[in-house]
Amino acid sequence: MAAPRRDTRGIVDAAELLARVRFRRREPAPALRPYLEHYWLIDWDLTQPYASHVVPHPSVNVVFQRYGDEAPFAEVSGIGLDLFTQKLEGAGRVCGIQFRPGGFRPFAPARAVSDWTGRRVRFPEIPEVFPAADPAAVLSPDDEDARVAALDTFLLGLDPRPDPQAELAMTLVDRIRTDRTIRRVTDFARAEGMSVRVMQRLFAAYVGVGPKWVVLRYRIHEALEHAETETAIDWAALAAGLGYADQAHLVRDFTATVGVPPTAYAASTATSRGGSAAGD
């Protein structure tokens, strides 16, 4: 596994978020790296409430959370199908585990990953899947390395076992993420030597969503990144490069996912970037 990625793909108006919270990604222990993207740590101490928005990755997360004076808790967060919004206020801390798409099943082999999709389930409600966990053991240390070590201890205690089907699912999703030429599931399945039905079953069991959904979600992530980082975007050319039939299809999917058209989003994030630069 490479070092944790440094992009902000999926974060809506990343400049605004990073101006308000302290956000880091950390590597897990070597034995866990085949299954995980990274750990993600967030701390905040805000004078005014703030709502963060994320276009979820096709990944399951396990999240340890503390908000203000509330008791800390942990939950399994299945793949979010819609825009995810979280209100932050006062002081708080989150320690998250982002699994690679396909990498969660070895830690919870009794259920298809699609059973978690669209759901957020707190640990006391799922004792048959995860043993009792102490969120305070992860969230209390002020030392960041200690929090990472606590996450390692939690996951290694689950004793994940190698699963060839999980490895296959992770490989297929990595290809979708990195190869723009993968646009049609029928062509992709044929190239991988399997039927569409077999691929769909594999994705339901190990990823949690279908391959077509993964293709579209990664394309929206890429469009978001262009809107965040570029000042002049040829949307028609970008749509073609991402595999859309035309610009209208990109606009439709972007608007349905993010809530605003891509041109309006690009204009708003340009304002945020300008404000951040002015304040530096």
CA distance 60 to 56: 9
| Per-residue pLDDT tens over the stretch 103-158 | 999 999 989 999 999 999 998 777 667 776 789 999 999 999 999 999 999 999 99
Q: Is the pTM of this model over 0.75?
A: yes
3-state secondary structure of 15: helix
| Token representation of residue 212 | 């077509």
CA distance 100 to 140: 26
Q: Which residues fall within 8 angstroms of residue 71, CB to CB, at 6 or more apart?
A: none
Mean pLDDT to the nearest integer, 92-97: 97
Residue 228 vs residue 280, higher pLDDT: 228
Asked whether the predicted pLDDT for residue 229 surpasses 90, the reply is: no
Predicted pLDDT of residue 132: 67
Predicted pLDDT of residue 218: 93
Does residue 62 contact residue 102 with C-beta atoms inside 8 Å?
no
Compute the mean pLDDT over every residue in the chain, rounded to the nearest whole number. Answer: 91
Backbone conformation region of residue 13, classed left if phi is above 0, alpha if psi is from -120 to 50, else beta: left
Residue 230's pLDDT band (cuts 50, 70, 90): confident
Which residues on neighbouring strands pair with residue 76, listed in sequence order?
Answer: 62, 121
Tokens 């699994």, located at residue:
99
- Range from 50-54, 73-77, 90-94, 239-243 carrying the lowest mean pLDDT: 239-243
The values of phi and psi at residue 91, to 5°, are -110, 145
Tell me the percentage of the chain whose pLDDT exceeds 90: 73
| Per-residue pLDDT tens over the stretch 33-80 | 999 999 999 999 999 999 999 999 999 999 999 998 899 999 999 999
Predicted pLDDT of residue 21: 96
Predicted pLDDT of residue 20: 95
Predicted pLDDT of residue 270: 73
| Per-residue pLDDT tens over the stretch 162-221 | 999 999 999 999 999 999 889 899 999 999 999 999 999 999 999 999 999 999 999 999
| Per-residue pLDDT tens over the stretch 2-15 | 567 778 889 998 88
Residue 273's pLDDT band (cuts 50, 70, 90): low
Task: Determine how many CB atoms are found less than 10 A away from the CB of residue 187.
Answer: 12
CA distance 158 to 151: 11
Q: Which residues fall within 8 angstroms of residue 92, CB to CB, at 6 or more apart?
A: 43, 44, 65, 66, 67, 68
Predicted pLDDT of residue 124: 73
Separation of CA 125 from chain center: 23
Asked whether the predicted pLDDT for residue 276 surpasses 50, the reply is: no
CA distance 166 to 189: 17
In the chain, helix, strand, coil percent, each to 5?
45, 20, 35
Separation of CA 3 from chain center: 16
CA distance 263 to 255: 10
Asked whether the predicted pLDDT for residue 280 surpasses 80, the reply is: no
Separation of CA 182 from chain center: 20
CA-to-CA dists, residue 197 to 92, 101, 204, 248, angstroms:
44, 19, 11, 29
Asked whether the predicted pLDDT for residue 238 surpasses 50, the reply is: yes
DSSP 122-146: EGGG-TTTS----HHHHHS-SSHHH
Predicted pLDDT of residue 277: 37
CA distance 116 to 120: 8
Residue 271 vs residue 14, higher pLDDT: 14
| Per-residue pLDDT tens over the stretch 79-88 | 999 999 999 9
User: Which domains does the chain possess?
Assistant: 14-156 (2.60.40), 164-279 (1.10.10.60)
Predicted pLDDT of residue 136: 92
